Structure 1
Amino acid sequence: MKKGTYTYGLLQYRHSQVLGEVLNIGLLVYFPDLKVLRFIFPDKILRLRFAYPNVPEKTIKAYFKYFETRVSKLNAQPEVFADDALSESLERFIDKEFLPSDSSALQFGNYRKGLLYTPDIEVICDQLYNLYFSVFQLHETTARRIDESVLLGNYKKLLKQFSNDELGVLGNKNSFHLDYEIAPPEKSKLRFDIAWNSSSNLHLVKPISFDLQKSESIDRKAYQYYGRFIDLQDYAGKSDYIFDVILAKPKHKPLFKAYDNAIRLLQQPKFVQLIEPDKLEDYTHQTVEALLST
Structure 2
Amino acid sequence: MNKHAYTYSVLQYRHDVWSGECMNVGVLVYCPDLGYLKLQTRTGGSRLSNAFPGINRKALLHDMRELERWFDRKCSERGSEWMWRSAHDVGLRLLGDDDSSFRWHLNGTGVTNDPASTQDQLFHRFVTQHDPEPGRVPRTDEQVFEVVRSKLKTSEILSRMEPHTVRSNYSEFTFEHSFRNGRWHCIQAISLDSADAEQMQRKAERWAGVLVGISEAPEPFTVYMVTGRPTKADLTKQYERMMELLRHAPTKPLVLDEEEADEIGRRIIG
TM-score, length-scaled by structure 1:
0.49
Matches within 5 A, 1:191-270: 191-198=174-181, 200-235=182-217, 238-268=218-248, 269-270=250-251
Misfit runs of 4+, over 6 Å: 16-20, 134-137
RMSD: 4.6
Counterpart residue identity of residue 217, structure 1: Q
Q: After superposition, give the CA deviation of every residue in 1:208-265 in whole Å (9 maximum; x if it has no partner).
A: 1111011111222222222322343232xx4110011110122223222222221221
Is the strand fraction higher in 1 or 2?
A: 2
Counterpart residue identity of residue 191, structure 1: T
Q: Give unmatched runs, 5+ long, in structure 1.
A: 1-5, 34-58, 63-91, 106-131
Is 2:185–2:222's contact at 8 Å kept on the other side of the alignment?
A: yes
Cα offset for 1:10? 7.9
Is 1:233–1:271's contact at 8 Å kept on the other side of the alignment?
A: no
Cα offset for 1:9? 9.6
Q: After superposition, give the CA deviation of every residue in 1:30-49 in whole Å (9 maximum; x if it has no partner).
A: 5459xxxxxxxxxxxxxxxx
Residue 280 (structure 1) aligned with residue 261 (structure 2): yes
Q: State the number of aligned residues.
A: 186
Matches within 5 A, 1:69-108: 96-99=99-102
Residue 24 (structure 1) aligned with residue 38 (structure 2): no
- In structure 1, distance between residues paired with 2:239 and 2:170: 32
In the other structure, the counterpart of 1:182 is 166
Is 1:244–1:274's contact at 8 Å kept on the other side of the alignment?
A: yes
Is 2:27–2:39's contact at 8 Å kept on the other side of the alignment?
A: yes
- The higher radius of gyration belongs to 2
Cα offset for 1:194? 0.5
TM-score, length-scaled by structure 2:
0.52
Cα offset for 1:142? 6.1
In the other structure, the counterpart of 1:13 is 27
Pick closer, same or farther for the CA change 1:136–1:202 going to 2, 3 Å: closer
Matches within 5 A, 1:5-154: 11-15=25-29, 23-24=40-41, 30-32=52-54, 96-99=99-102, 133=128, 140=133, 144-154=137-147
Q: After superposition, give the CA deviation of every residue in 1:43-73 in whole Å (9 maximum; x if it has no partner).
A: xxxxxxxxxxxxxxxx99x9xxxxxxxxxxx
Identity of aligned residues (%): 13
Is 1:241–1:271's contact at 8 Å kept on the other side of the alignment?
A: no
